[in-house]
Every structure is written in structure tokens, then in C-alpha cells.
């Protein structure tokens, strides 16, 4: 293989992981090039075709099993995520119910404080700008469900619930989180978009992954390459797997 082709395929392999991160409908429309086409075409053309087709092919292969609509800007946003935690249901419920502990695994939540039935949330977006809001518990059934809704003063109206269920066959507890954000648009909408990033559902999944780590092992699992723990959005800017100085 010549250096030029080598570099092209190197670039491809680097960008492939980036492409994998992006949830977009466009790639679904790209047709896979047949292997015979690769043989028929000249080498540079074949490589170029392969580059285009491989992105689509690998994408199709990994995405074949999931199809998730994305919220349009300005509309409300519904997020779901679920995880199975190998701990008893009452323990899992209790941990969540101690709202102050939620910041241990919610990446951008700085702190949660509770006064009466109202929780005060402080979060920090990637730009470092603090966002604060109050939420009122609207339903709290022991070992079953906790749901909340932001108070009227919240910049971004939001609500959410977490439901707990015994997993079958002694597998622990199934935890299902549902969040809804109603950004009003304008600067407030921008603030919430910044806070949630481009892939809010991925962030919720990462939060639940860390929740599971904390419940099962007592710690957020970190590596030198990903010192902040499970956070898919940071992985394109990851550092090498070397000790942190």
C-alpha cells in the first residue's frame, strides 16, 4: 500500500470513531459498494469508494439494531435511559432518594440540596456557566418511583421520574429514568442545550452507568485515559493512556 493510501485509511480509522459518535440519519441513505466494484475500479478510486462505503457499512452494521428519533430544536425533549443494578431495590431507592448523593454520578450536576419537599440543583455546563433551578417532588412511592417537576421560577422547565422494579430472577433492580425538558428558546434554550450537549441521551446513559458503578463497586471507575470516568462525549478529546501528572 502506498503512503498516500495508507494515510487515507489511517484518517478514516481515526474519523470512524468520530462518525460512530454522531447520531444522524444521513448515513442510512448511503448504499454499500459491492466488493466487485472495488475490483473493477482502479486502486485510488477503489480506496476512495471503500472509504465512503466503509463509513456507511460499519455504521450500518453497528446501528442496525437501534433507531432513535432526535428532538428538533425548540421542541421539548424527552430522554429515557435504563440500567440494571445488582443491589436490592430498597437500597437503590434509598441512594437515589438521598438527593444530595446524586452529584456523585451525575457528571454536570455540581450539587443538590433539599429543603422540605424542594430540591435545589446546581449544574455546570461545559462552558463553565452555572445553571440553577428548584424542583418539587410530585410523587414519592417508597421503592417504586420518585418524580419531580421544576418550580415555576426555573429558567428551563423540566421534569423527570425514576422508577425502580425488581429485575427478574434475582438480577437486582431495574432503574428507568425519564427526563423531559421544555426549553423556551432564546438564551435559556441555549443554556440548556449547552448543559446537555449534543447527545443528551448519551449523557443520561453515562450518568446511569456511573450510578451502577457507585452502587455496585462504591466508586466511579476511572482510567488515566478517561480520568473523569464514563463520559462518552469527552472521548474524542481523550488523553493518551498514561498516568496523569
Partner 1 sequence: MKAACWMGRGNVEVREVPDPRILNGHDAIVRVTSTAVCGSDLHLYDGFVPTMKKGDILGHEFMGEVVEVGPDVRNLRVGDRVVVPFTIACGRCAACGLGLYSVCENSNPNAGLAEKFLGHSPAGAFGHSHMLGGYPGGQAEYVRVPFADVGPITIEDGLADEQVLFLSDILPAGWMGAEMCDIKPGDVVAVWGAGPVGQFAVAGAYLMGAEQVVCIDRFAYRLRIAERAGATTLDYEEVDVRDALLDLTAGRGPDACVDAVGMEAHYANPALYAYDRTKQATRLESDRPYALREAVMNCRNGGIVAVIGLYTGFLDKFPMGAVMNRSLTLKAGQCHVQRYLKPLLALIREGDIDPSFVITHRLPLGEAPRGYQLFRDKQDGCNKVVLTP
Strand order of the β-sheet with 173-181 is 77-85, 173-181, 158-166, 145-150, 130-141, 118-124, 109-115
Site string for partner 1, 83-122 (x = CB under 8 A): -x-x------------------------------------
Closest CB 21 distance from partner 1, rounded Å:
7
Choosing from 4, 20, 88, 139, the residue that interacts with partner 1 (CB under 8 A) is 20
CA distance 231 to 154: 26
Residue from 165, 206, 203, 210 nearest 181 by CA: 203
By CB under 8 A, residue 16 contacts partner 1? yes
Q: How far is the CB of 146 from partner 1 (least distance, A)?
A: 24
Check binding of 1 to partner 1 (CB under 8 A). Answer: yes
Chosen residue from 46, 106, 109, 146 binding partner 1 by CB under 8 A: 46
The site string for partner 1 over 48-87 (x = CB under 8 A, - otherwise) reads: --xx-xx--xx--xx--x------------------x-x-
Among 10, 78, 132, 144, binds partner 1 (CB under 8 A): 10
Task: Name the segment binding partner 1 (CB under 8 A); options: 132-140, 153-161, 190-198, 214-222.
Answer: 214-222
Binding range to partner 1, per CB under 8 A, among 88-96, 101-109, 124-132, 209-217:
209-217
Contact in structure between 176 and 80 (CB atoms under 8 Å)? yes
Quote the CA–CA distance of 158 and 203 in Å, as a whole number.
Answer: 16
Closest Cα to residue 53, out of 61, 25, 5?
A: 61
Give yes or no for residue 223 binding partner 1 (CB under 8 A): yes
Q: Does 9 bind partner 1 (CB under 8 A)?
A: yes
**What does the block give as the cell for 207?**
450518568
Smallest gap, in angstroms, from Cβ of residue 217 to partner 1? Answer: 5
d(CA 179, CA 80) in angstroms, rounded, equals 7
Could you please report the per-residue DSSP string of 150-214? E-TT-SS-EEEEEEEEEPGGG--EEEEEEEEE---SHHHHHHHHHHH-S-HHHHHHHHHHHHHHH
Rounded to the nearest 5°, which phi and psi values hold at 94?
A: -60, -40
Enclosing H/E stretch for 5: helix 3-21
What are the residues binding partner 1 (CB under 8 A)? 1, 5, 9-10, 12-13, 16-17, 20-21, 35, 38, 46-47, 50-51, 53-54, 57-58, 61-62, 65, 84, 86, 171-172, 202, 205-206, 209, 212-213, 216-227, 229-232, 235, 238-245
Amino acid at each position: 500500500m502506498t503512503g498516500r493510501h495508507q494515510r487515507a485509511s489511517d484518517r478514516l480509522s481515526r474519523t470512524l470513531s468520530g462518525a460512530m459518535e454522531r447520531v444522524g440519519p444521513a448515513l442510512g441513505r448511503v448504499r454499500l459498494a459491492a466488493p466487485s466494484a472495488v475490483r473493477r475500479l482502479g486502486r485510488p478510486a477503489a480506496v476512495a469508494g471503500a472509504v465512503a462505503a466503509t463509513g456507511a457499512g460499519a455504521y450500518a452494521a453497528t446501528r442496525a439494531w437501534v433507531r432513535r428519533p432526535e428532538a428538533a430544536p425548540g421542541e421539548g425533549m424527552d430522554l429515557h435511559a435504563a440500567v440494571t443494578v445488582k443491589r436490592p431495590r430498597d437500597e437503590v431507592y434509598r441512594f437515589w432518594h438521598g438527593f444530595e448523593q446524586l452529584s456523585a454520578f451525575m457528571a454536570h450536576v455540581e450539587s443538590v440540596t433539599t429543603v422540605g419537599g424542594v430540591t435545589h440543583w446546581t449544574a455546570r455546563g461545559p462552558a463553565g456557566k452555572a445553571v440553577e433551578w428548584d424542583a418539587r417532588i410530585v410523587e414519592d412511592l417508597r421503592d417504586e418511583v420518585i418524580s419531580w417537576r421544576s418550580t415555576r421560577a426555573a429558567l428551563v422547565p423540566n421534569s423527570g421520574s425514576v422508577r425502580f422494579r425488581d429485575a427478574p430472577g434475582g438480577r437486582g433492580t431495574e432503574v428507568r429514568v425519564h427526563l423531559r425538558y421544555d426549553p423556551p428558546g432564546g438564551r435559556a434554550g441555549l443554556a440548556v442545550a449547552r448543559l446537555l450537549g449534543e447527545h443528551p441521551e448519551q449523557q443520561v446513559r453515562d450518568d446511569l452507568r456511573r450510578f451502577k458503578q457507585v452502587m455496585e463497586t462504591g466508586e466511579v471507575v476511572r482510567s488515566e485515559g478517561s480520568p473523569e470516568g464514563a463520559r462518552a462525549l469527552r472521548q474524542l478529546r481523550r488523553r493518551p493512556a498514561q498516568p496523569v501528572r
